Amino acid sequence: MSTPYLQAVNDFVIKFANVNGSGSASANELFAKAILRMGVPVSPRNIFPSNIQGLPTWYEVRVSEAGHLGRRGGTDMMVAMNPQTWDADVAELASGGYLFYDSTRPLPASKFRDDICVIGMPLTEICNAVYQDPRQRQLFKNIVYVGALAVLLGIEPAVVETLFSEQYKGKEKLLDSNVRALHLGCDFAREHLGDRVGLKVRRADAVGGRIFVDGNSAAALGCVYGGATVAAWYPITPSSSVAEAFQRYCSKFRVDAATGQHRFAIVQAEDELASIGMVVGAGWNGARAFTATSGPGISLMSEFIGLAYFAEIPVTIIDVQRGGPSTGMPTRTQQSDILACAHASHGDTKHVLLFPQDPQECFEHAAAALDLADRLQTPIFVMTDLDIGMNQRLCEPFEWDDARRYDRGKVMSAQELEAGRDFGRYKDVDGDGIPWRTLPGTHPTRGSYFTRGTTRDAYARYSERGPDYIYNMERLLRKFATAATLVPQPVQQPASKPTRLGVIYFGSTTPAMHEALEALQAADVHLDAMRLRAYPFPESVSRFLAEHDQVFVVEQNRDGQMRSLLIDELEVDPARVVAVLHYDGTPITARFIVDAIGRRVKGEAWLPAQAAPAPAEAPANTSAAMQATAK
């Protein structure tokens, strides 16, 4: 009996298997944007190696009219353009799925599967017949397969042509050559491939007013709107494009129209140590300053971070997390720097962390971090990751109130100093733990102090007396408690039925978690949900934990770092907090979450159809799911 091939409209996953450096990335992105232009939400993810050229790369596009933006798990159609990964790519396909490949060179029957639909197209032969230049043959082969897929899937070629016209405006030669390659693919598919694919794209109106942007660009724009004028950085994947985007935006928005003078300073430092040192110096001097980095950079910056914490200097750090430890997986995503950032530096330190869920919150949190850094006089971490930072995502448009004023916190003016107001740089005058500060040059004779990383008294005078040290350390704790009232508050989503089960999640796990909650509810598993947006944890987090007998904590690291932070900070019984851990470097999927929680709630035998893991994911996810039920 033959396997029925998959049939779906505006609800499937297609994956492109290419070679890094082949020019496929722009063609694959074009494919995703064309579907988006037809009013159907897409969620693309670029999976690429950490070398420059020659290793395998994948581009996964989830098409979901229902608006699910997390990774679903599984692949319905594979565009197999890399012989090196052929076997694994074919194995990853769901039963009844579709395999599209370059059939210029015949392959033995053993290279295929009986339960999938195989569609061969002689792409290399077509391009060799039309193009003489070897590079053109390679580049346009990508456009040719986009044209063929457009016909097979029902994507309107005119939409792709419009995208070309926007991309190559004023470059008619490039425009004409790309349109020609597109129609080579379209014409061949119409004449030779027929209507063989049951996966279709149909025009819809499900995108609305949302925008399509990556988190790193959004964070950079948030820094501009938040008043940052100084950025110092050292290139590191996956954060480099934050500083690059900040440079572009500053060149547009921070150049004096009359004089052409730059109202910003961007420094590519010699290393991470120098970059954070510059940012600390700028913050001490009154500038709004930030750096962007990833886990290895945080490790190198720790001593300066400790200085900023203890000397109480505003600093904003955007941590685009990746796989670790050490070099780890530079081009894979994780949420693995939580504990490192929460306690960065030696001694007793606690830092404020913000957890954006998407590019819109990257924009919002980056601007908020600059306010919080000034208000609290301390380092603020924006904890994004590669999945959010380097992948384009549909999100709500950015909003900004032009009446909004920057919160500079407790900065004493020259007039206040002249009036004789008492100034103790590290003196808590109103019980919130936050002292007053002055900026350099505020007054010619008053308000000066010596900034140091060693212990001091409330007036910044050097002191190793135990009472002075305890005063400052306890005051820093009061300031941290104040921070819990100022940071973005958690978002709660109650279950449709009363339940004693809860789930806590944060950051890039959000879209997969939303979809998983729907699937669990359909399977009669009901959970109250809370999305954390910041650390320190507001009081509502303690209440949520107390109100539930068991709370799952979904995160993307090996050690359950957020779970540990919750237990340590809120003194929760560890037996009531269950870790759901995914850390193979790919974004977590809804199927994985449903499987892990369902097994715990319903027993190991429970596995609903919608939670069945894809074949290629099974080894990594099965191990993590077993850990999730045991911790």
**C-alpha dihedral, 128 to 87 to 592 to 46, nearest 10°:** -30
Report the DSSP beta bridge partners of residue 504. 530, 553
pTM of the model: 0.93
- Residue 552 amino acid letter: F
The token duo for 360 is 């819109």
Q: What is the mean pLDDT of residues 362-372?
A: 98
Closest by CA position to 588, among listed 506, 523, 521: 506
The token duo for 535 is 């650390």
Phi, psi (rounded to 5 degrees) for 138: -70, -45
Residue 259 DSSP class: T
Q: Where are the alpha helices (DSSP H) in 419-494?
A: 466-486
Burial class (CB in 10 A: 0-12, 13-18, 19+), 2: exposed
Other C-beta atoms within 10 Å of 328: how many? 16
Return d(Cα 207, Cα 299) in angstroms, integer.
Answer: 40
Per-residue buried b or exposed e for 505-532, using 16+ beta carbons within 10 Å of the residue's own CB: bbbbbbbbbbbbbebbeebebbbbbbbb
Q: What is the mean pLDDT of residues 486-494?
A: 98
Q: What is the pLDDT of residue 174?
A: 87
- Give the pLDDT band of residue 606 (cuts 50, 70, 90): low
Return d(Cα 478, Cα 12) in angstroms, integer.
Answer: 51
Half-sphere exposure of 426 (CA within 13 A, CB side): 30
Instruction: For the chain, give the mean pLDDT.
Output: 93
- Give the pLDDT band of residue 615 (cuts 50, 70, 90): very low
pLDDT at 279 over 90: yes
pLDDT at 14 over 90: yes
Q: What is the pLDDT of residue 362?
A: 98
Strands 550-555 and 501-506 turn out to be parallel
Residue 232: left (phi > 0), alpha (psi -120 to 50), or beta?
beta
Over the Cα atoms of the chain, what is R_g?
Answer: 27
Secondary structure E strands in 37-172: 42-47, 56-64, 75-80, 93-102, 117-121
Q: What is the pLDDT of residue 613?
A: 40
CA 60 vs CA 8, 39, 331, 540: distances in Å: 17, 19, 15, 37
Return d(Cα 222, Cα 370) in angstroms, integer.
Answer: 9
pLDDT at 181 over 70: yes
CA 210 vs CA 207, 474, 484: distances in Å: 6, 45, 31
Q: What is the mean pLDDT of residues 291-299?
A: 98
The pLDDT tens digits for 94-138 are 999 999 999 999 999 999 999 999 999 999 999 999 998 888 888
Q: What is the pLDDT of residue 603?
A: 80
Q: What is the pLDDT of residue 170?
A: 83
Q: What is the mean pLDDT of residues 295-308?
A: 98
Q: What is the pLDDT of residue 421?
A: 92
The token duo for 539 is 């009081």
Answer positive or negative: Cα dihedral of 98, 27, 221, 287.
positive
pLDDT at 626 over 70: no
The token duo for 289 is 């300053």
Q: What is the mean pLDDT of residues 273-283?
A: 98
Closest by CA position to 579, among listed 604, 599, 596, 595: 596
Q: Where are the alpha helices (DSSP H) in 403-532?
A: 414-418, 466-486, 510-522
Longest alpha-carbon distance in the chain: 92
Q: What is the pLDDT of residue 629?
A: 36
pLDDT at 142 over 70: yes
Residue 262 DSSP class: B
Q: What is the mean pLDDT of residues 249-274?
A: 96
Q: What is the pLDDT of residue 607?
A: 54
Question: Which residue's structure tokens are 């999100």?
Answer: 395
pLDDT at 604 over 80: no
Return d(Cα 516, Cα 622) in angstroms, integer.
Answer: 17
- Give the pLDDT band of residue 169 (cuts 50, 70, 90): confident
Q: What is the pLDDT of residue 134?
A: 87
Closest by CA position to 367, among listed 250, 312, 434, 288: 288
Q: What is the pLDDT of residue 631?
A: 38
Return d(Cα 551, Cα 574) in angstroms, integer.
Answer: 10
The pLDDT tens digits for 197-213 are 999 999 999 999 999 99
Question: Which residue's structure tokens are 């779970």?
Answer: 563
Q: What is the mean pLDDT of residues 303-319?
A: 98
Closest by CA position to 58, among listed 14, 94, 100, 91: 14
pLDDT at 627 over 80: no
Return d(Cα 348, Cα 477) in angstroms, integer.
Answer: 10
Other C-beta atoms within 10 Å of 408: how many? 15
Return d(Cα 533, Cα 383) in angstroms, integer.
Answer: 10
Cα 273 off chain centre by: 24
Return d(Cα 47, Cα 59) in angstroms, integer.
Answer: 6
Question: Which residue's structure tokens are 């709660």?
Answer: 492
Are 37 and 162 in contact by the 8 Å Cβ rule? The answer is: yes
Return d(Cα 507, Cα 337) in angstroms, integer.
Answer: 13
Report the DSSP beta bridge partners of residue 502. 528, 551
Please provide the size of the chain in residues.
631
Cα 105 off chain centre by: 40
Phi, psi (rounded to 5 degrees) for 381: -105, 130
Question: Which residue's structure tokens are 């979809």?
Answer: 515
CA 305 vs CA 20, 180, 269, 343, 351: distances in Å: 37, 55, 17, 10, 9
The pLDDT tens digits for 459-476 are 999 999 999 999 999 999
pLDDT at 53 over 90: no
Closest by CA position to 478, among listed 383, 377, 327: 377
- Give the pLDDT band of residue 52 (cuts 50, 70, 90): low
Cα 282 off chain centre by: 27
pLDDT at 558 over 90: yes
Closest by CA position to 319, among listed 294, 341, 338, 342: 294
Return d(Cα 98, Cα 8) in angstroms, integer.
Answer: 12
The pLDDT tens digits for 233-246 are 999 999 999 999 99
Report the DSSP beta bridge partners of residue 13. 62
